[in-house]
Structures are given as C-alpha cells and as structure tokens.
Amino acid sequence: MDKKLDSAPCGYIVFTKDGHIKEVNETMCTMLSVTKIQLHKKHLHDIISKASRIYFQTYFTPLLMMHEEVKEMYLTFVTPDNVELPTLVNAYLKEEEIVCAVLQMKVRDEYEQEILVEKKNAERIMQETDKAYKQLQGLLQEFEKKRKELTLLNGELEQLSITDSLTGLYNRRYIESRLEDFLEEARNNRVPFGVLMIDIDHFKVVNDRFGHQAGDEVLKELAGVLSSGVRSDDVIGRLGGEEFLILLGSAGKEEAVETGERLCRLAADKVWKSPAVTISVGVSVYEKGDSKLDLLEKADKALYKSKAEGRNRSTCQGVL
C-alpha cells in the first residue's frame, strides 16, 4: 500500500463483494484499535454494528451494485471493546472489490461543534469593549482555520476516491466517467477527441525476473513519462495492471497519432531507474455515432495490432 494512503487522515478499507476484508490502512486500524493482521480476511459484519449490518445489506450494497458508487453513507463500526464509532463512508466498485474511504464522524462533529460555539461567542463579544473586539478577531481566525481543515478533509476524501494509489494517476472509474463527458461534448458541440490505450511490453517478464516491487516502480516511472508527453488538460488514468488510458481533448486523428508515436519514443529513449521497458499504443478517434464501447474496442484492436507487429509502436484505427 502507498505510504501516503496508509497514513491518510481517513480510514481506507477494501473488501470483496461478499464482505471479506482484503486490505486496510493504518488509520483504519487505529480507529478500530486493531492490527492489520487481526482484520485480514475478517468479514465486514465482524466490525460494524447490528443496525449497520442490516443497512449494509438492504440499502448500501444494492445502491453500490446499481450505481457503482455511494457517497456520504453512514455506517457504525465497532471496536473489540464494543465502542461504537459513527463514520461517513464514500465507496466505489472496482472490478470485484469494494473500496471505501472512512471518515470518523467524531472528527467532523467536533469541528462543527467548535464552529457553532465560536460563532455564538463572536456574536456576544461584538457587543463588548475594544478588548473584546480583539478577542473576536482571534475567534474568527480560529473559525476560519477550522473551516479550512474541514474543507481539506473533504477534499482529500474525494481525491482518494478517484486516484490510483500506486501511480497517482486517475483510476479506472474516474477516467471512464470523463470519457462519457468527452462523448457528450463531441455529440453536442462536434468537438473531436482521441483515445489512447497503452500497454507495457513484456511486463510479465519484468515481474517474473525482477519481482513485483520492481514492476511497481516501472508503473510509477511510466506514469511520469505519459504525463510529460501530453498536454496538461488531457486526462490520464490507469485501467489496471499494466494498462493505461489517455483522453486527448479537442484532438483530431493527426494529433492523436502523433501523440501515440511520441509516447512510444519517450518510453524507448528514457533512461530508466527501474528495469527499462517499451510500450505499445492503440489509437481511436471519435466519429459520429460512436459509443464509449465503440471507442474502447477500436483502441483495443489497434493496440492488439501494435503488439502483433512487434510491439514498441503505435497503431491507429482505420490503419489496421
């Protein structure tokens, strides 16, 4: 697990669709007063209240299966000493796993209570002497500090839900949602865009020869290569494994093809700190009537063509 995610200011928990826990961060363990080993392979029902079990089965899970995400749902976790911890949960479906960010409501409630108390004090102090006015300024500064802290916590929670923890790029759920946005813009305003599907050549060999830790380093380095080879407003995400997807806004076929070829050159010419790799790229460009599935399938077929013709190259739809 990424160190930043492990020590994030909110809990992080991953479990299977049937509720068995696969991964948690240290913050979650601290909240529950347990270790990661104690939670490993336990069922979620073992650490939530009876009322939350019913809520989880009858509302939380069906809603998640329907929309692939839920936001600001309340669940009550229970420590081994039977201490109940009210929490606010954001969750999304990632392939066969459910990923949750958990914010302990105690923290949020404390901030809100402090804000309310300080606001009332401010109203009273405004009617007092010049000395009280100075005290008011201090209280207002503290109020603003608490508000910013609360906003920051909510922002970090949102960022965790859309980010791939290993590479720092966007995750699959987010980039696919952005693809829908690009499609709507193209249909309504006739704005062209390109889709680049990228795969690392012989990545299994890297893992088998150098180990999975080296493979992770390759993924992180490649994320930097891809980011350096596109515009700041293009959208880059990791689909999973060694596959990446890039959305090129306002890009026609020529620009999309040039970008794919440039990324191949950047990877091939790079001086790698981790084991050196090359990439293969499949390019598709929006055409009238295309759906999300159409664009992904065309990019995937182009990628397959790049692999079949020797790898370390970019292939565009229509040139198959």
What pLDDT score does 319 carry?
A: 47
If asked whether residues 16 and 90 sit together in one domain, one would say: yes
What pLDDT score does 123 carry?
A: 72
The 3-state DSSP class for residue 69 equals strand
Residue type (1 letter), 103: L
Residue 128 located in a structural domain: yes
What pLDDT score does 108 carry?
A: 57
If asked whether residues 307 and 192 sit together in one domain, one would say: yes
If asked whether residues 100 and 112 sit together in one domain, one would say: no
Residue 165 located in a structural domain: no
Going by pLDDT thresholds of 50, 70 and 90, the confidence category of residue 3 is: confident
- The 8-class DSSP code of residue 2 comes to -
| Mean pLDDT, the chain, integer | 88
What pLDDT score does 122 carry?
A: 72
Domain housing 115 = 107-160
Residue 51 located in a structural domain: yes
Assess whether pLDDT exceeds 70 at residue 156.
no
Report pLDDT digits (tens) over 276-294: 999 999 999 999 999 999 9
Residue 55 located in a structural domain: yes
Residue 166 located in a structural domain: no
Report pLDDT digits (tens) over 98-150: 999 998 876 555 666 676 777 777 777 766 667 766 777 887 888 788 778 77
Of 158, 182, 183, 155, nearest to 170 by C-alpha is: 158
Comparing 115 with 40, the larger pLDDT belongs to 40
> Of 104, 120, 136, which residue constitutes the final position of a domain?
104
If asked whether residues 27 and 120 sit together in one domain, one would say: no
Whether 242 is catalytic:
yes
Comparing 61 with 198, the larger pLDDT belongs to 198
What pLDDT score does 112 carry?
A: 63
Residue 167 located in a structural domain: no
If asked whether residues 177 and 290 sit together in one domain, one would say: yes
Alpha carbon distance 110, 205 (integer Å): 52
Q: What is the CATH number of the domain that holds 230?
A: 3.30.70.270
Assess whether pLDDT exceeds 60 at residue 53.
yes
If asked whether residues 155 and 241 sit together in one domain, one would say: no
Measured from the Cβ of residue 194, the count of other Cβ atoms closer than 10 Å reads 28
What is the pTM (predicted TM-score) of this model?
0.55
Assess whether pLDDT exceeds 90 at residue 297.
yes
* Catalytic one of 26, 84, 242, 287: 242
Going by pLDDT thresholds of 50, 70 and 90, the confidence category of residue 41 is: confident
279 touches 200 (CB < 8 A): yes
If asked whether residues 293 and 183 sit together in one domain, one would say: yes
Q: Which residue has the tokens 């990628």?
A: 303
- Lowest-confidence region among 4-8, 221-225, 257-261: 4-8
Counting the structural domains of the chain, the total is: 3
If asked whether residues 113 and 58 sit together in one domain, one would say: no
If asked whether residues 294 and 260 sit together in one domain, one would say: yes
If asked whether residues 132 and 89 sit together in one domain, one would say: no
Q: What is the CATH number of the domain that holds 39?
A: 3.30.450.20
What pLDDT score does 6 carry?
A: 87
Residue 63 located in a structural domain: yes
Cα dihedral: 24, 30, 32, 34 (round 10):
80
Of 267, 159, 149, 141, nearest to 203 by C-alpha is: 267
247 touches 178 (CB < 8 A): yes
What pLDDT score does 134 carry?
A: 76
If asked whether residues 93 and 201 sit together in one domain, one would say: no
- Lowest-confidence region among 147-156, 174-183, 279-288: 147-156
If asked whether residues 176 and 298 sit together in one domain, one would say: yes
